[in-house]
Structure 1
Amino acid sequence: MTFPLEHPSLWLILGLGILFGVFLEAGGLGSPRKLVAQLNMRDWTVFKVMFTAIVVAAGALLVSEQVGLLAGAQLKVQTPFYWAMAAGGALLGIGMAVGGYCPGTAVVGLLTGRLDALFFIVGMVGGVLIFANYCDAFQGLFFAGMGNERETLASLSSLPGWLILLGLVALAWAGFHFSAQFESRGDGVIEAKNLTD
């Protein structure tokens, strides 16, 4: 097979994606009940997974820069468009609340036999096609609120990377502590083995 997997790194990306999906399913995130429980503030697994991924990625980038494996200039940092990001985030959030899936967990749900995930994916692809056909009408919104090129937390705050990472770790710790309080008030975490529907 050549295209689309002609470049060796694409095989690595595919393998990591499959591994990520396996871990999502093992954690019960292929079930819409997990995401809905997060939105109801009963089960904070989604928050914990996402914040852990952010801290691990930030730490890996910082260490890679410090040991010379990666230069900051090599990273592709997109120019932020704040109004478009807010609108897209709101639409994604509404879709996640209604469907109980995000794009990644919908694929995991479909591959584990959840029919509702198929409808979610069809709706998601339909939304993308509609936007692609009418995106010219949204150009004003898309380019409004444009930030600086290569804008990062470090460039915005003028703080060193290690201090930003320390702040992220502190936020994660506080979030984990705060979420444990919520989980202890209700039914607690929904265990993956108990997700049968």
Structure 2
Amino acid sequence: MNALMAASGPLVGVLLGFGFGFVLERAGFGSGCKLTAQFRLTDWSVFKVMFTAIVFAAVGIYVLELAGWVEAASIYVPAPYLWAVAAGGALIGAGFAVGGYCPGTSAVGVMTGRIDALVFFGGILIGTFAFASLFPWLDPLTTAGELTKGDRLPEALGVPEWLVLAVLVAAAVGVFFLGGWFERRARQRGAA
């Protein structure tokens, strides 16, 4: 039985990847135009979906832990390296704003025949190989600024977990209202 489960792991990963890609495409996230609208503050659906997923997962894990079904301490959380996260976030954010795609959505765009996504995906491959060849020199950056005070945000901030989750939920509600306001404003400008 264990051998069957181990052998099916890659297949499950591929099937989940195709399912995730299908959902992204159906939501319109395989289009660079839809994604760059987020940066123009005219379509907040990408931000709403991602923020909802983060909040749902965080609150879900907390509730499952309270019910005794999951032990949060057993969930692997990689050590955060602040300088690497900041540099990577800036680079991927700039690429996202310029190209209209992140790595996942560019793969979806390629699979649906979008030429701009193919160009962007090619850039991702070139960047990946360039990073790999430069890694010996970049390694100090990838491990700089390790956050060592606790593995999780509540421990790092020294506050109860429920408080972090309450702030996340409040921020999500605020983002939904703010995003809706920006979207209505953009529609009114378009109609005028």
**CA displacement, residues 70-105 of structure 1 (integer Å, 9 cap, x when unaligned):** 212211111111111111111101111111101111
| Counterpart residue identity of residue 71, structure 2 | A
Aligned residues: 184
Tell me if structure 1 keeps the 8 A contact 2:55–2:169: yes
Comparing 14-23 with 110-119, greater Cα deviation is found at 14-23
In structure 2, how many angstroms separate the alpha carbons of the residues matched to 1:8 and 1:161? 36
| TM-score between the two structures when normalised by the length of structure 1 | 0.86
Q: Quote how far apart the aligned CAs of 1:123 are.
A: 0.8
**CA displacement, residues 129-187 of structure 1 (integer Å, 9 cap, x when unaligned):** 11111111112322221111752111122333333222211100001101111111113
| 3-state SS of paired residue (2:187) | coil
Q: Quote how far apart the aligned CAs of 1:29 are.
A: 0.7
In structure 1, how many angstroms separate the alpha carbons of the residues matched to 2:106 and 2:171? 28
Comparing 158-167 with 53-62, greater Cα deviation is found at 158-167
Residue 86 of structure 1 corresponds to 86
Tell me if structure 1 keeps the 8 A contact 2:154–2:164: yes
**CA displacement, residues 26-45 of structure 1 (integer Å, 9 cap, x when unaligned):** 11111000111001111101
**CA displacement, residues 42-67 of structure 1 (integer Å, 9 cap, x when unaligned):** 11011101101101111221122122
* Residue 134 to residue 40, structure 1, CA distance change in 2 (3 Å): same
**CA displacement, residues 99-142 of structure 1 (integer Å, 9 cap, x when unaligned):** 11011111111111112111111110110111111111112322
Q: Quote how far apart the aligned CAs of 1:19 are.
A: 2.2
The RMSD of aligned alpha carbons is: 1.9
Residue 131 of structure 2 corresponds to 131
Tell me if structure 2 keeps the 8 A contact 1:78–1:149: no
In structure 2, how many angstroms separate the alpha carbons of the residues matched to 1:83 and 1:42? 31
Residue 168 of structure 2 corresponds to 168
| TM-score between the two structures when normalised by the length of structure 2 | 0.88
Residue 119 of structure 2 corresponds to 119
Listed as ranges, the gaps of 5+ residues in structure 2 are: none
Identity of counterpart residues, as a percentage?
44
Q: Quick check: which one's helix share is greater?
A: 2
Listed as ranges, the gaps of 5+ residues in structure 1 are: 189-197
| 3-state SS of paired residue (1:187) | helix
Greater relative CO (CA pairs within 8 A, separation 6+) = 1
Residue 146 of structure 2 corresponds to 146
